[in-house]
């Protein structure tokens, strides 16, 4: 049985890669995909602790997080399509309508 | 090979695949390639769930994430014309500041995990809170529809809201 520390380090690596993606990329679609990476890292943590404590609750939280990810992807991609129709771009730093 | 060894090798294989896929997702220039790297990473994560004995989450990960969310992503990539964006700068100008901050955050989390492991906090607890059988799909279903019945219903409302939101957002006249 692989100790839980290894799962935590794997989840940490995926989380940090996702954070770097969100903070450094300019393409909004890639930023959304990096958010999916972050949510995935959280899922690994929850399932690993679910086995650690021999408790099924962690797996159920994972299911809710996947539901959230689906909702977030649907709304986020809808926003991207609406924005692309108006401004013909997908770059995050050109989304400055609310800045002054 | 004993089953314990097999699960160990499977863990390292899937972990390496997940990390490589994640690095590819955030560094590759072409968005379609980025999505394919992300699919690799998500499938490897499904394998990680299997090594943890979570069969239902494994199936949901493949059906919902890879089969549902990623298809949605690829549809949008096809709908949005990315030829212009492909030739522009892919990273922000001061990307190294963000990278340094993210690595500092990772160092902090890593130190927490490292020292809790060295201090024995991550040992298997003597008083485990439940009894998880190796085939735990039945336990999962019972807990979902008894203890977590209300959150389950609220999740359905959330999905309905997201559905309506996505339709309204992509209408012709916003």
Q: Report pLDDT for B174.
A: 53
State whether the Cα torsion B109-B111-B113-B116 is positive or negative: negative
**Domain co-membership, B140 together with B79:** no
Count the helix, strand and coil residues of chain B and give each as a percent rounded to the nearest 5.
75, 0, 25
Residue A42 resides in a domain? yes
Number of Cβ atoms within 10 Å of the Cβ of B151: 15
> How far off is chain A from B106, nearest CA to CA, in Å?
6
Total number of domains in chain A: 1
**Domain co-membership, B82 together with B142:** no
Query: Which range marks the domain in which residue B4 is found?
Result: 1-87
State whether the Cα torsion B45-B49-B50-B54 is positive or negative: negative
**Domain co-membership, B80 together with B148:** no
Total number of domains in chain B: 2
The CATH number linked to B16 is: 1.20.120.1200
Binary contact (A13, B22; C-beta < 8 A): yes
Binary contact (A62, B57; C-beta < 8 A): yes
A37, A50, A62 member nearest B41 (Cβ): A37
Q: Report pLDDT for B173.
A: 65
- Chain segment B110-162, per-residue pLDDT in tens: 999 999 988 888 887 777 777 777 788 999 999 999 999 999 999 999 999 99
Residue B141 resides in a domain? yes
pLDDT band, residue B105 (cuts 50/70/90): very high
Q: What is the pLDDT along chain A (100 residues), one digit of tens a residue?
A: 788 999 999 999 999 999 999 999 988 999 999 999 999 999 999 999 999 888 899 999 999 999 999 999 999 999 888 888 888 888 888 888 787 6
Residue A59 resides in a domain? yes
Residue A1 resides in a domain? no
The torsion of the CA quartet B82, B85, B86, B88, rounded to 10 degrees, works out to 170
The CATH number linked to A86 is: 1.10.287.3510
The torsion of the CA quartet A33, A34, A36, A38, rounded to 10 degrees, works out to 180
Binary contact (A44, B84; C-beta < 8 A): no
Give dist(CA A39, CA B41) in Å, integer: 12
Residue B110 resides in a domain? no
B15 vs A98: which has the higher pLDDT: B15
Q: Report pLDDT for B125.
A: 77
Residue A50: CB partners within 8 Å, gap ≥ 6?
A56, A57, A58, A59, A62, B52, B54, B132
Residue B71 resides in a domain? yes
Residue B161 resides in a domain? yes
Residue B122 resides in a domain? no
> How far off is chain B from A46, nearest CA to CA, in Å?
10
Residue A61 resides in a domain? yes
Give dist(CA B67, CA B59) in Å, integer: 11
Mapping DSSP to helix (H, G, I), strand (E, B) and coil, where does residue B8 land?
Answer: helix
Residue B100 resides in a domain? no
ipTM summary value: 0.92
Query: Which range marks the domain in which residue A38 is found?
Result: 27-92
Candidates A40, A36, A62, A37; CA nearest to A49 is: A62
Residue B94 resides in a domain? no
Residue B43 resides in a domain? yes
Q: Which residues of A touch B166 (CB under 8 A)?
A: 74-75, 77-78
The pTM (predicted TM-score) of the whole model is: 0.91
For A88, nearest residue in chain B (alpha carbons): B81
- Chain segment B41-66, per-residue pLDDT in tens: 999 999 999 999 899 999 999 999 99
Binary contact (A68, B122; C-beta < 8 A): no
Residue A85 resides in a domain? yes
């Amino acid at each position: 049985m692989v100790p839980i520390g290894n799962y935590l380090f794997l989840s940490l690596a995926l989380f940090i890669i996702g954070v770097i993606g969100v903070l450094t990329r300019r393409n909004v679609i890639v930023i959304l995909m990096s958010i999916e990476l972050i949510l995935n890292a959280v899922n690994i943590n929850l399932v690993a602790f679910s086995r650690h404590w021999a408790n099924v609750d962690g797996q159920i939280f994972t299911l809710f997080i996947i539901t959230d990810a689906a909702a977030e992807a649907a709304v986020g991609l809808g926003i991207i399509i609406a924005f692309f129709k108006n401004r013909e771009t997908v770059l995050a730093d050109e989304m400055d309508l609310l800045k002054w | 090979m004993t089953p314990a060894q097999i699960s160990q090798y499977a863990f390292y294989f899937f972990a390496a695949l997940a990390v490589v896929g994640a690095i590819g997702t955030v560094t590759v220039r072409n968005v379609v390639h980025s999505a394919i790297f992300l699919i690799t990473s998500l499938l490897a994560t499904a394998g990680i769930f299997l090594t943890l004995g979570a069969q239902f989450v494994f199936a949901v990960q493949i059906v919902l994430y890879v089969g549902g969310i990623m298809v949605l992503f690829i549809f949008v990539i096809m709908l949005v014309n990315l030829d212009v964006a492909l030739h522009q700068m892919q990273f922000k100008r001061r990307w190294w500041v963000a990278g340094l901050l993210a690595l500092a955050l990772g160092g902090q989390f890593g130190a927490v995990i490292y020292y809790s492991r060295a201090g024995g906090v991550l040992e298997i607890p003597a008083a485990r809170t439940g009894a998880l059988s190796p085939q735990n799909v039945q336990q999962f279903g019972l807990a979902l529809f008894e203890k977590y019945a209300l959150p389950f219903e609220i999740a359905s409302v959330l999905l309905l809201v997201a559905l309506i939101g996505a339709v309204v957002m992509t209408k012709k006249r916003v």
